[in-house]
Amino acid sequence: MRIAIVGSGGVGGYFGGRLAEAGANVTFLARGAHLDALRARGLRILSPKGDLHLARVDATDDPRAIGPADIVLFAVKLYDTEGALAALPPLLGPNTAVIPLQNGVDSVDVLTRAIGPAHTAGGTCYVSAVIAEPGVIKHTAMDHLIFGENETNGSRSPRLERLLDACKPASFQSTLSANITVDIWTKFTRLSVLSGMTAVTRSPIGTIVNDPDLLAMLKAAVAEARDVAHAKGVAVPGDVVEDVVRAYTALPPQARASMAEDLERGRRLELPWLSGAVVRIGQQVGVATTIHGFIATVLSRTVTRIAW
């Protein structure tokens, strides 16, 4: 199986590296200093699950040099999506599946418009990983890759069955979903809150779950996102608030979302697709989103480079 990684940062670099370690044929599409480091020194992953150094990896900035792949993991930042779409046509063969591993809930629709439904699958993931320095991915928590065809009838396509087989020997959890839309929205419900709360408070998750007032704010934000999903007709589990509290209490107390890291480093934020999207979709379906509105308002005025 030939796998192309479009966007080889924390998410793409981590899962692509673990797949390559397990023997999959993986090529990374990257750019700049990160690409230079991958070519010169390979890929290094620093992880509590065990460090990894792939001394040689296939990496390029030219999708034409990769050619048609069986699977494309599309893992660029949301604000880079439009530019990255141009890289996809050379990677498409007759049965190629492009799987977005992006935050938010808009990626499947964007890819479907760009490359058609036949080439678009659904995907999401739970992982905390960033580029620590060029060529080095620092993984701190979680590593669950979820993918599925966009039908909701539980169908399991041969192409994604083959991807699941490629993932099984890799040292991360993988799931072939029977309803990827629910999985994407469930992740969105959880991540929009983790991203928003750790960024707006400038605090790791341990500080938030151990402060009664911040924990109440977190719970209210999860409930808002859940209610937006339900109003859209997406069956996010009703007990997601309790599930999120359990999950975030179990995280390493120093864990923060990548948006909080980006805020600290003065980088552009994915805010319009996270808390901003909760507010936008909430307005469309008539659901109040007070907490996410507060988060979006405060953070949009903190970082002037955010492009709405």
Domains, the chain = 2-178 (3.40.50.720), 182-302 (1.10.1040.10)
What is the structure's pLDDT at 308? 34
Q: How confident is the model at residue 307 (pLDDT cuts 50, 70, 90)?
A: very low
DSSP for 257-288 reads -HHHHHHHTT----GGGTHHHHHHHHHHHT--
What is the structure's pLDDT at 153? 60
Cβ–Cβ under 8 Å, residues 188 and 208:
no
Q: In the predicted model, what is the mean pLDDT of residues 145-166? A: 89
What SS3 class is residue 222? helix
What is the structure's pLDDT at 141? 84
Separation between Cα atoms, residue 102 and residue 307, nearest integer Å: 18
pLDDT tens sequence across 237-279: 999 999 999 999 998 899 888 899 889 888 899 999 999 999 9
Cβ–Cβ under 8 Å, residues 277 and 228:
no
- Answer yes or no: is pLDDT of 305 > 80: no
